[in-house]
Amino acid sequence: MAEFRLNEITKEQILIVESRLKRPKDFKNQEVIEKVSFKENCPFCFGNEEQTPPEVYRIGDPWEVRVVENKFPILDSNGDITGYHYVVIETTNHSKNLHEMNEDEMYKVIKSFVKVSEELYTKEEVKYVQIFKNYKKRPVLL
């Protein structure tokens, strides 16, 4: 469950989500570039669709872009602070970076952002949609 807490130093509200601690380690200690076309235990690899939470949007059949619920959401439908947290699987080759995509692939990724955002904005409780991309490990500033 998510809750807002006051950062006593900065006087800013921060969002605390303890369930996010249960997710697997996001980053290895050393940066390792691993580009593989298929891993049996990878939920984002083509053919492993049953390893992801429910799909909320897709382009193509078979899929070219998928949007699924996040297994470890920052916000969900429980508690006082609620929201939606999705993951966009941008291509069947999810090792590909945005700058490596061709025009058609990029178009489909952006189209998925737009379509899912439009769907979220039809919900009365949704006031704001934020799209972000995780990329590499970020330092924690103290």
Q: Which residues of 98-114 are buried (b: 16+ CB within 10 A; e: fewer)?
A: eeebeeebeebbeebee
For residue 142, is pLDDT > 60?
no
Evaluate if residue 27 carries a pLDDT over 80: no
What confidence tens digit (pLDDT) does each residue in 14-23 have?
888 877 777 7
What confidence tens digit (pLDDT) does each residue in 92-120 have? 998 888 899 999 999 999 999 999 999 99
Residue 74 and residue 48: Cα distance in Å, rounded?
A: 24
**Is the confidence at residue 36, as pLDDT, over 80?**
no
Q: Which two tokens stand for residue 80?
A: 């006082």
Domains and CATH numbers, the chain: 43-136 (3.30.428.10)
112: part of which helix (H) or strand (E)?
Answer: helix 103-121
Global pTM value: 0.75
C-beta neighbour count of 57 within 10 angstroms: 17
